Amino acid sequence: MEWSLVALILLGLAFAFEREIRSLQNQSERVFVWSTLASLRTALVLNRLARQVRPDDASLIEKNPFRLLQQLPANYAGEMPMQDVYLVPPGSWLFDPDCPCVGYRLLYPEWLEPAQEIGVIWFRIGRAGDGPSLSPLEDYLWQGIRFK
């Protein structure tokens, strides 16, 4: 009887520990995605300002915001069309030049609504007001955060 009680307590602790680790992994992915999106937005704004200062400089024309960063993210998979997103591993960024859109294949897609088979969030590069923007292609809800 005592060993059964000890086994149940250990099993409960193991379950709680696993749940907390999973929550921490989800939160770290969320922070990573937000910081990468912020870096891309900043790079787009700085590029736009540089083009205003030097409008004749053709080297400043770049559609892929990842190329505007000082260093590519380690998990940047490159340029490819949206329909080929299944070729990149989860946790990877990509750029679709035809859209033009930035995509991220989630490590934990079970937290994404609307649910998707592959679990990718896409952001279209466009203009909002006076500057460039990254706008979600859909009304995503991911880990309690709404992308609009």
Per-residue pLDDT of the chain (148 residues; tens, 9 = 90+): 778 777 777 777 777 777 767 767 777 788 888 899 999 999 999 888 888 888 877 777 788 999 999 999 999 999 999 999 999 999 999 999 999 999 999 988 877 777 777 888 999 998 877 778 888 988 888 877 787 6
Q: DSSP 3-state helix, strand, coil percentages of the chain (rounded to 5)?
A: 45, 25, 30
The answer to whether the CB of 72 falls within 8 A of the CB of 56 is no
